[in-house]
Amino acid sequence: MGRAKKFTGVIAPLLTPFGGDGRPDPVRFLDHARRVLEAGCTGLAPFGTTSEGNSLSLSERMALLEALVRGGIDPACLMPGTGTSAIGDTLTLTRHAVELGCGGVLVLPPFYYKMVSDEGLFAAIAAVIDRLGDNRLRLYLYHIPPVAVVGYSLDLVARLARAYPGIIAGLKDSSGDWSNTEAVIGACPEIEVFSGSEVFLLSNLRAGGAGCISATCNVNAGAIRGLYDHWRDGDADTRQEGVTRFRREIEREPVIPFLKAIVAAEHGDPAWRQTLPPLSAMAEESAERAIARLAALAAVPARSNVL
């Protein structure tokens, strides 16, 4: 019998707001976290790709995480990204998250060196787990080879899950390859497998997966949660078509700047458009045209209150 799942459902990798000085704004960050939870998200995954996590310093990440917990966000619903290229930095962020009571951490492989072996990647993850030495740790592997290039092979995931049962809790698959996600679910039924896009949410759930951790949850949580709640219903395929159309429209633009433009428009807060270099904010006119296209989608009435 498998152990109870700790994270399931619709998880938002939170966008990070910045002030005029380029520093992250913890007040608006907390406000956004509350809004996406109210819109239907079951958890939050700050400091991944969508959060511009690798553009933030360790101290900035830790301060923002503390702001969420201090502001009343249940740490059990938090899965912060803690993976870096340096084992020591990953350990620092992971220990901080565990000590705050976070339900899990989302860990990129050390991604700077390419063409590394599974043996080397196993050693890197094992070093974090062993040096932390805390059974409260629940570690979710973050597989995103389109960005990181380095990824977690199926054999490596299975080996880590066997070596650290209960600690290796799951995987987020942002490969964009459904066949890989399906293979992980089949090979590792003891861990929670999330698709990195809601495009695969229905397939994920039907195969026994746990849900999705998707950038679009920042602005379309209501419809994605509706699909999650009703995936066994007769209209599930229609719901999937709606959230897929919305996602594909988002992907016509640079995703993170576009999502920030949507949030800025929703709240009348132009500062939300700001990104950190090397990303660039969307031009205002381009954002207005793209948002108008979104508003024309048939799926809009089923979404949460955005735009």
Give pTM, 2 decimals.
0.94
Rg, Å, the chain Cα set: 18
Q: What is the pLDDT of residue 12?
A: 98
Residue ranges per structural domain of the chain: 9-233
The closest of 236, 237, 249 to 297, measured between CA atoms, is: 249
- What pLDDT is attached to residue 304? 40
Q: Any idea which fold 9-233 has?
A: TIM Barrel (3.20.20)
Residues of the chain with pLDDT under 70: 1-5, 298-307
Q: How far apart are CA 59 and CA 74, in angstroms?
A: 21
Fill in the amino acid letter for 130.
Answer: D
Packing angle, helices 178-187 and 154-163, rounded to 10: 30
Q: Mind listing the pLDDT tens digit for each residue in 25-68?
A: 999 999 999 999 999 999 999 999 999 999 999 999 999 999 99
pLDDT of residue 5: 57
